Amino acid sequence: MTATNSDTATVVYAVSGMSCGHCEKAIKEELSTLPGVTTVEADAKAGRVSVTATAPLDDDAVRAAVDEAGYELTGRA
């Protein structure tokens, strides 16, 4: 799902392997380093991560950041 307004876009990704708050924090920290990212919300229970950015998100860069945190991006939710 992608939501937009004039300044930002939000993309929701499905992520496997998250099980707790520590997992959420690790993913938030990695994704927050991507250019243009303003907000990251991770929900381990739902297995989803919402990323809001001021620039278009590169899915490969998002996947690499999630991999770096130790989890697997399985696609857009």
Is residue 22 classed exposed, middle or buried when 0-12, 13-18 and 19+ CB atoms within 10 A define those classes? exposed
Determine the residue type at 6.
S
pLDDT for position 36: 95
Assessment of whether the complete model's pTM goes beyond 0.95: no
pLDDT, tens digit, 9 for 90 and up, residues 18-72:
999 999 999 999 999 999 999 999 999 999 999 999 989 999 999 999 999 999 9
What is the domain count for the chain? 1
Amino acid letter, 7:
D
Structural domain containing residue 66: 2-76
CATH number for the domain harbouring residue 38: 3.30.70.100
DSSP H helices in the chain = 21-31, 59-69
For residue 12, the one-letter residue type is: V
Return the pLDDT at 3: 56
Residue 1's pLDDT band (boundaries 50, 70, 90)?
low
